Structure 1
Amino acid sequence: MLLRERSTPEGLLVSVCDAEILGETFENGEVSLTVDPEFYDGEEADAEAVATSLAEAAVANLVGTESVGTAIEHGFVEEGNVLEFEGTLHAQYLRM
């Protein structure tokens, strides 16, 4: 997985994607999702590092089976709230 953290005035923004889908575009009807390297490219990370980062995040965007699965496994995202784009999973996390 690729993990990227950014500090914003609203808190920590985290983006995570499965490395093999970086740069890909996926569709679901009229909606598309591009795994833009400018947003998602980051450091290689394991599930523990991703979970640690998500615990500090104010907002997170996750794309890919492994990335979204890690967020579900650690209780950050509910499976029923996950979107699917051509077999690729996408989820957003917002801490309020």
Structure 2
Amino acid sequence: MKRYDTDGKLIVAVCDTDILGKKFKEGKLVLKLEESFYKGEEVCENEVKEALSCANIANIAGKRSIACAVECGCVDPDTVIFIDGIPHAQMVEI
């Protein structure tokens, strides 16, 4: 998980470690899980949930990461998309 503090807003990038650094493609959709964006601290589920509940914007990829986002109510499971079998969601606080 990686946190970005930008102009008083918190952006959180969360990705399962087993898919970090990989690229997935399905049709015109491409999901690049670049280490430069996603790689930060390796954290437990509770830390992910806490960070997501404080985030203004989040990018989330992978089964475990998406499960955390859904469990803490930050992502509606109906909004999760799958690219080459990998679940991905974005969250924006408005």
TM range (shorter): over 0.9
Q: Provide the alpha-carbon RMSD of the alignment.
A: 0.9
C-alpha displacement at 1:56, in angstroms?
A: 1.0
User: Do the aligned partners of 1:16 and 1:61 also contact (CA within 8 Å) in 2?
Assistant: yes
Instruction: For structure 2, list consecutive stretches of 5 or more residues without a partner in the other structure.
Output: none
Contact 1:15 1:62 (C-alpha < 8 Å) held by counterparts: yes
The amino acid of 2:88's aligned partner reads H
- Cα deviation, residue 47, structure 1: 0.9
Aligned residue pairs, count: 94
| Percentage identity across paired residues of the two chains | 35
Scaled by the length of structure 1, the TM-score of the pair is: 0.94
Structure 1 runs of 4+ with >2 Å offset: none
Deviation track 1:56-90 (CA, whole Å, cap 9, x = no partner) reads 10100001010011101111101110010111100
Structure-2 residue corresponding to 1:87: 85
Shift of 1:10: 5.3
- Of 22, 30, 33, 2:28 maps to 30
Q: Give the TM-score taking structure 2 as reference length.
A: 0.96
Mapping for residues 23-62 of structure 1, pairs under 5 Å: 23-62=21-60
